[in-house]
């Protein structure tokens, strides 16, 4: 009996074991060590984090327990009846503390306990990393309490950090060399094939550099043009055993059709380039920058002026089809860049035409509001020729389905770049390093079958995070970050790409994107054939998912990229012009450019129109400055003090930090958004004017202007808000106006649009909403005029906050009107000032500009020479400094 107990206590050793713990002054049966708790041993999960060679972070509470890392080269550790099974060795662990540096580097792990690798076992670390690793917790008597798999990225970066400077992939012009980073592999061999799909092959041993974890082999000149894969023998947690994966090279620069094998080519070989490639002359890098977002297949798939065999391919950019004629005209108007949606190797489009299946229905014969078109398109969506392409398979090889011959993809891609450059346009490439199409042991998984568990971002239990849509990569890990930089540099040097748009850039560390900028800036014409400083960078700085709020690192988000000159898309002006947000249940919520200023549609979401309009107008004014956080608005508030859904509206430090847009490939096109939002009876002529007014808020502001291809010609996707897999039919870009603008192609695909069908059906059935040639021509002409105006003065290309603050002002205006005055003195050789009046109301408005009182001002010569009779009704009264502007019109006046 214990002195604090009131009654005798009993212990049955036959049922409880030979050790017990007793709580003082607490009656009841003693608590045997481990009683009531079975071992928590789930080896399919990885809840421990090996973050450096000497530190494990784990959610445990060290006490009278023992910790270790069990490891097995043959991956045979299991669990049965409360104990580990199989043969394994052990690294001893002792309780410690995370350093401040470790807490800062791994903020999401900062609250976990630290366990230190016993210095006596330090020489076992590299052995442990080349097999299965299990974190083990035992009680003082050695009984198993907890066992879990271990996440390895941190320790791999620490131990094999020298690999950051290794040359990976194919190299060597005479004697080819192949190198792959596979530090956890037991063995790596090269399988060399004689053909793209034949079985005849030779297998070659690869040597391992123990300092870097890189495996390499030097070949013979006869290897040139051969196909290859790596045979990687490695422990794969997804399989729960050691496997031998046959996998392509993640640094592939050429592939067999279908992407099942890499190909050994030298990108400097003349056979890989079109005539004149080495001497290609690029259009000058001009400011202000304007970008035209285009999909390779959309560009020509429906263009009957392009030979049938070339439609939907790179080759369409080298000819004289209607699309190329139009791009040349846009360049002449002032467009500077064409942005191509993903053109790297994709996972979801069959590369051989013979393997593709297109819709067999007569889609054009079906009613404009029918659901049969979308059903027919859905039947072949998985095997047709179309996908946006945000499903990367190999990051540094051109997509083969866009080539007339997938084996000639490199030359054809380069010919496309040359064709666009020859048209006066620089080329931006949409890159998607934030995720892969698959992970684990999936056949379409490349990175994860070479270094399992490394290249992807894992959740607390070791599952692959998928907040991006798919298997999230982890550019915060050394070698994934290196892959991003190396890949971008290859595209810049070998393909002469002039800009890069990063998909979901907020899932990248800011440091990774800055490393890209630094690597590009080091490229010179003399050394590399390109001027890297002229290459533009921008991306989606959205803040969400497991990395949101800096949970794992400083992200490349909107606010964080301020001052870098790397642009982020601004949703502020977009929402203010369109109205509401892309995620509204009711798509009829109106904005400045969609009728809120006097053309209300009666939808319940448009209550408090006056208050919302005023707030939207402030967002647009701020957007016209480049969304500058420290710009002082007419109200006296800084841009950062203007509200946007509870967040600061202004976030940029300089105008080039921002990409301004009102539509893109995501969500409804601008025309479709206005179809939902403008009152149903709005005449087509007024729809055109509101389309143009909305686009003008983009084209006449500071920063990078971004326009979705076809918006200048009223492009519709038949109200489809997510056309990523909607086939050629819903994604048509129609250069022939007699074919319409794409509206009325049937109800948009059910998967992402069915909830909007009740709104869509009556609109699609209305023939008055299908734009004719006159409407399309008018929209295109006005768009071209605003491009010309944008490029007509350096006042639209201010570079600093100080310049914008001193030169851009917003005179007080009536609701539904925004006036912007640009002081161009000592900047523009022709004009002292430029004044822009956006009148979004259905009435003529008079706008007083105090700076013009007693001065002379005339309508911009571009508008004066144009064929828009309405804008020519605009007038200026010098006595009062008043500009009068017709309804739904943007007028630009210049002061000589």
The residues annotated as belonging to the active site are: 503, 540
Query: How many whole angstroms separate alpha carbon 700 and alpha carbon 786?
Result: 7
CA dihedral 267, 273, 276, 281 (to 10 degrees): -60
Judged by DSSP in three states, 704 sits in: strand
Q: Are 78 and 86 in contact (CB under 8 A)?
A: yes
Q: Are 179 and 501 in contact (CB under 8 A)?
A: no
Per residue in 525-557, is it b (16+ CB within 10 Å) or e — as a string?
eeebbbbbebbbbbbbbbbebbbeeeebbebbb
Q: Is the peptide bond before 298 cis (omega within 30 degrees of 0)?
A: no
The sign of the CA dihedral 609, 614, 617, 619 is negative
- Which run of H or of E encompasses 396? strand 392-398
Pairing of strands 808-809, 704-708: unpaired
Q: What is the rounded end-to-end Cα distance, in angstroms, of the chain?
A: 105
Query: How many whole angstroms separate alpha carbon 420 and alpha carbon 47?
Result: 50
* 756 alpha-carbon distance from chain centroid: 26
Pairing of strands 567-570, 658-660: parallel
Residue for token pair 């031998």: 244
Conformational region of residue 355, where left means phi above 0, alpha means psi within -120 to 50, and beta covers everything else: alpha
Q: What are 706's two structure tokens? A: 């971004």
Query: How many whole angstroms separate alpha carbon 134 and alpha carbon 115?
Result: 14
Query: How many whole angstroms separate alpha carbon 227 and alpha carbon 194?
Result: 6
Query: How many whole angstroms separate alpha carbon 185 and alpha carbon 7?
Result: 61
Phi, psi (degrees; rounded to nearest 5) at 736: -90, 110
Q: Kindly calculate the radius of gyration of the chain based on its CA atoms and give it in whole angstroms.
A: 31
CA dihedral 490, 493, 497, 500 (to 10 degrees): 50
Cβ atoms within 10 Å, residue 126: 15
Q: What are 861's two structure tokens? A: 């010569």
Q: Are 570 and 627 in contact (CB under 8 A)?
A: yes
Residue in 827, 829, 821 with CA at minimum distance from that of residue 853: 821
Residue for token pair 């708790």: 37
Query: How many whole angstroms separate alpha carbon 822 and alpha carbon 832?
Result: 9
Judged by DSSP in three states, 205 sits in: strand
Residue in 697, 710, 699 with CA at minimum distance from that of residue 739: 710
Cβ atoms within 10 Å, residue 341: 23
């Amino acid at each position: 009996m214990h002195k604090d107990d009131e009654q005798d206590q009993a212990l049955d050793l036959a049922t409880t074991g030979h050790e017990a713990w007793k709580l003082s002054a607490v009656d009841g049966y003693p608590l045997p060590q481990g009683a009531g708790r079975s071992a928590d041993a789930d080896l399919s999960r990885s809840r421990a984090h090996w973050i450096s060679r000497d530190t494990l972070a784990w959610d445990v509470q060290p006490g009278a327990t023992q910790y270790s890392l069990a490891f097995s080269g043959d991956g045979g550790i299991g669990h049965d009846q409360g104990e580990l099974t199989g043969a394994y060795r052990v690294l001893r662990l002792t309780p410690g503390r995370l350093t401040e540096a470790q807490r800062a580097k791994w903020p999401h792990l900062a609250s976990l306990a630290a366990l230190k690798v016993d210095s006596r076992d330090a020489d076992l670390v590299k052995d442990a990393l080349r097999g299965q690793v299990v974190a083990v917790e035992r009680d003082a008597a050695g009984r198993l309490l907890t066992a879990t798999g271990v996440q390895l990225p941190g320790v791999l970066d620490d131990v094999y950090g020298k690999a950051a400077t290794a040359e990976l992939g194919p190299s060597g012009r005479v004697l080819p060399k192949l190198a792959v980073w596979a530090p956890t592999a037991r063995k790596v061999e090269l399988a060399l094939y004689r053909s793209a799909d034949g079985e005849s092959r030779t297998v070659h041993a690869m040597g391992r550099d123990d300092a870097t974890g890189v495996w390499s082999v030097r070949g013979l000149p006869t290897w040139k043009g051969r196909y290859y894969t790596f045979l990687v023998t490695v422990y794969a947690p997804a399989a729960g055993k050691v496997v031998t994966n046959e996998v392509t090279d993640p640094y592939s620069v050429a592939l067999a059709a279908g992407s099942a094998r890499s190909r050994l080519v030298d990108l400097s070989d003349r056979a890989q380039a079109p005539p004149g490639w080495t001497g290609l002359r690029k259009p000058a890098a001009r400011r202000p920058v304007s970008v035209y977002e285009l999909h390779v297949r959309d560009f020509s798939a429906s263009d009957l002026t392009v030979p049938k065999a070339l439609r939907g391919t790179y080759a369409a950019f080298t000819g004289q089809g209607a699309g190329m004629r139009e791009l040349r005209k846009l360049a002449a108007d002032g467009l500077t860049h064409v942005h191509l949606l993903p053109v790297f190797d994709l996972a979801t489009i069959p590369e051989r035409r013979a393997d593709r299946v297109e819709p067999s229905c007569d889609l054009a014969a079906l009613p404009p509001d029918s659901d049969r078109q979308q059903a027919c398109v859905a039947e072949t969506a998985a095997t047709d020729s179309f996908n946006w392409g945000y499903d990367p398979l190999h990051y540094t090889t051109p997509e083969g389905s866009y080539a007339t011959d997938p084996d000639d993809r490199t030359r054809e891609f380069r010919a496309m770049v040359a064709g666009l450059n020859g048209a006066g346009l620089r080329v931006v490439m949409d890159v998607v390093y934030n995720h892969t199409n698959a992970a684990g042991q999936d056949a379409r998984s490349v990175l994860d079958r070479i270094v399992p568990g490394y290249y992807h971002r894992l959740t607390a239990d070791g599952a692959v995070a998928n907040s991006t849509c798919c298997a999230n990569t982890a550019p915060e890990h050394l070698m994934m970050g290196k892959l991003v930089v190396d890949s971008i540099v290859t595209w810049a040097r070998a393909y002469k790409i002039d800009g890069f748009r990063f998909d979901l850039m907020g899932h990248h560390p800011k440091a990774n994107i800055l490393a890209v900028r630094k690597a590009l800036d080091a490229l010179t014409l003399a050394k590399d054939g390109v001027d890297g400083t002229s290459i533009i960078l921008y991306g989606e700085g959205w803040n969400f998912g497991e990395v949101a709020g800096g949970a794992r690192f400083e992200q490349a988000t909107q606010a964080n990229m301020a001052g870098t000159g790397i642009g982020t898309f601004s949703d502020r002006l977009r929402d203010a012009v369109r109205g509401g947000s892309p995620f509204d249940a009711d798509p009829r919520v109106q904005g400045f450019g969609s009728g809120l200023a006097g053309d209300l549609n009666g939808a319940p979401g448009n209550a408090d129109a006056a208050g919302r309009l005023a707030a939207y107008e402030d967002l647009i004014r701020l957007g016209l400055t480049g969304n500058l956080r420290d710009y002082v608005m007419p109200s006296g508030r800084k841009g950062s003090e203007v509200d946007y859904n509870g967040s600061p509206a202004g976030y940029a430090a300089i105008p080039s930090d921002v990409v301004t847009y009102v539509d893109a490939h995501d969500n409804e096109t601008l025309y479709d958004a206005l179809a939902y939002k403008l009152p149903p009876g709005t005449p087509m002529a007024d729809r055109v004017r509101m389309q143009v007014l909305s686009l003008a808020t983009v084209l006449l502001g500071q920063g990078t202007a971004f326009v979705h291809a076809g918006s200048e010609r009223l492009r519709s996707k038949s109200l489809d808000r997510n056309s990523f897999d909607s086939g050629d039919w819903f994604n048509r870009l129609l250069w022939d106006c007699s074919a319409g603008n794409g509206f009325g192609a049937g109800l948009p695909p059910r998967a992402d649009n069915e909830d909007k069908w009740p709104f869509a059906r009556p609109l699609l059935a209305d023939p008055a909403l299908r734009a004719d040639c006159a409407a399309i021509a008018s929209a295109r002409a006005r768009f071209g005029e605003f491009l010309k105006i944008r490029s007509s003065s350096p006042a639209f290309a201010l570079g600093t906050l100080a310049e914008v603050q001193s030169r851009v002002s917003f005179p007080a205006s009536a609701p539904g009107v925004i006036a912007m005055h640009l002081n161009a003195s000592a900047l523009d050789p022709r004009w002292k000032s430029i004044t822009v009046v956006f009148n979004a109301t259905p009435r003529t408005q008079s706008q007083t500009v105090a700076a013009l009182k007693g001065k002379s001002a005339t309508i911009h010569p571009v508008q004066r020479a144009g064929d828009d009779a309405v804008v020519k009704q605009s007038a200026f009264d010098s006595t009062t400094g008043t500009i009068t502007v017709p309804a739904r019109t943007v007028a630009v006046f210049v002061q000589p």
